[in-house]
Amino acid sequence: MPVESVASVAPVERFRRAARDSVSGLPRAFWWLWASTLVNRLGAFVATFMALYLTMDRGYSASYAGLVASLHGLGGVVSALGSGVMADRLGRRPTMLIAQTSTAGAVALLGFMHDPVAIAAVAFLVGLASNASRPAVQAMMADIVRPEDRVRAFSLNYWAINLGFAVSSMGAGFIAEFSYLAGFLIEAGMTLVCAIVVFLKLPESRPAPAAKDADGASVGLGTVLRDGRYMAVVGLSFLVALVFQQGSVGLPVAMGRAGFSAADYGLAIGVNGVLIVALQIPVTRFIEHRDPRRLLVISSVLAGYGFGLTAFAGSVGVFALTVCVWTLAEIVNAPTQTGLVVRLSPVHGRGRYQGMYSLSWSAAALVAPLMSGAVIDHLGAAWLWGMCAAVGTAAGLGYAVLMRGLPQEGPARSGGAESGPASEAESGAGSGASSGAEAGSGTRTGAEAGSGAEVLAG
């Protein structure tokens, strides 16, 4: 074979090997969970255009749009802890089914609401239902995947979310030009399909009940609240989430005020999903075994200043460039943060711990819209982007201090070795690898950790 041919084949072979290594060794159940996440996010139109729908189609103020989004976030705050307890007591699968079917009904109902009070009330119900699936999804993923594969698994799931998000974001603007109601109904239908996949293909993964942990105390919400390091991680997660929320809350309102259309916003924010599709897996392979403290510090600061640069954007192209900056932060932050949360969680309290982590995002979804709407209305968008830079810097400094002395990753915290579904993950690795390769070769990408239909706050 000519030298030129050998040289051209080598990069292709390396790419194939890297892709195979990225998807191999994961259990079959993980890929069905991954597929349900992808289907869900392919239909997530409302998250993209809700702020534009309220301000441009309905004629409400940015402050009202922020209020509606905050009520959605309040619903998430209410459901986060309760759904975490449900995931531990009732099971991961029943919790997901209840959450997803309720979300489908609530999203469809929201599309038919016209009275401002009714819109706000149903938005709260959507937040209550859609956020309830998060603790169960992430707890199930931790149950069925081996500890050494979890960062990769969370990255693949995040990738699926963003593949769906990239497609839905680009389509949402054009669907909105035709009919906002169609977007609501399509999202409701796709969420229902997601529930059907869970019902038909996903077995329950909850570990066998254990009354006591290693310290002799039952794992309850009080256990989580007394876990100082973990609660500090939750607090820093809230700050980072506050910044990332602006991609779906502050950015569309600011672009609308500047004269850009729903399609313009859809194209700009779609860059987020496209970049994650292209870069999530290679970046994860690069960061998988690196110091999480450094990664969280860098990603937090980069997110803040990525949004800060939006103050200088005056065209769709420049808006897209700022999206590129904070998307790089997101690619690093998401799997690192989620892996850290699982690392600090006891096996038999995963639902509760994941619920508290979800609470940080739900609380950010509650605060961010109110903050962004008020700041844009009274001070201007430039102040909002400057605040994002400050918050990102504060979060980065917080991680630098908090993560000193982080213990080396070892066996899961459960009072013993991980059992039950964890061993199933190992035994299913062979069959899961083949099905995983099939699933992973066809499609991919996603944002914010398997949240069902994140209608207003992304």
pLDDT tens digit sequence for 166-209 = 777 677 777 777 788 888 888 899 889 889 988 998 888 887 66
**Residue 341: predicted pLDDT:** 81
Range from 189-203, 219-233, 430-444 carrying the lowest mean pLDDT: 430-444
pLDDT at position 21 over 70: no
Confidence band, pLDDT 50/70/90 cuts, at residue 101: very high
pLDDT score for 303: 94
* Minimum mean pLDDT range among 221-230, 332-341, 417-426: 417-426
Give the pLDDT band (50/70/90) at residue 15.
low
What pTM does this model have? 0.64
Q: How confident is the model at residue 19 (pLDDT cuts 50, 70, 90)?
A: low
**What is the per-residue pLDDT for 407?**
56
Instruction: Please report, rounded to a whole number, the percentage of residues in the chain having pLDDT higher than 90.
Output: 14
* The predicted structure's pLDDT at residue 427: 36
Band (pLDDT 50/70/90 cuts) for residue 55 is confident
Residue 218's pLDDT is 63
- Nearest CA-CA partner of 162 in 57, 270, 266, 68: 270
pLDDT, residue 391, reads 94
**Does residue 443 register a pLDDT over 60?**
no
Looking at per-residue pLDDT, the higher value among 31 and 48 belongs to 31
In terms of pLDDT, which residue wins out, 5 or 192? 192
State which of 325-329, 369-373, 376-380 shows the largest mean pLDDT: 325-329
Q: 419 pLDDT exceeds 50?
A: no
Q: What pLDDT does 406 receive?
A: 63
Q: How far apart are CA 422 and CA 414, in angstroms?
A: 12
- Summarize the confidence of residues 217-244 as an average pLDDT: 83
Which of 212-226, 227-241, 248-262 comes out lowest in average pLDDT? 212-226
Q: How many CB atoms lie within 10 A of CB 100?
A: 28
Q: What is the pLDDT of residue 2?
A: 56
Give the model's pLDDT for residue 405. Answer: 63
Retrieve residue 401's tokens: 């201090």
Q: How far apart are CA 364 and CA 371, in angstroms?
A: 10
Confidence of residue 432 (pLDDT cuts 50, 70, 90): very low
pLDDT tens digits for range 232-245: 889 999 999 999 98
Confidence of residue 4 (pLDDT cuts 50, 70, 90): low
- Does residue 312 register a pLDDT over 80? yes
Q: How many other C-beta atoms lie within 10 A of the C-beta of residue 282? A: 14
Q: Closest Cα to residue 267, out of 323, 307, 220? A: 323
Task: 219-228: list long-range contacts, CB under 8 Å, 24+ apart.
Answer: 219/88, 219/346, 219/348, 219/349, 219/352, 220/349, 220/352, 221/81, 221/85, 221/352, 221/356, 223/346, 223/349, 223/352, 224/349, 224/352, 224/353, 224/356, 225/356, 227/344
Q: Quote the pLDDT of residue 180.
A: 81
**Considering the chain, what percentage of its residues have pLDDT values greater than 70?**
78
CA distance 243 to 56: 24
CA distance 360 to 138: 15
- The highest-confidence range among 68-72, 87-91, 242-246, by mean pLDDT, is 242-246
C-alpha to C-alpha distance for 294 and 242, rounded to whole angstroms: 20
Q: Which has more confidence, 222 or 255?
A: 255
The average pLDDT across 333-342 equals 82
Confidence of residue 339 (pLDDT cuts 50, 70, 90): confident
pLDDT of residue 240: 93
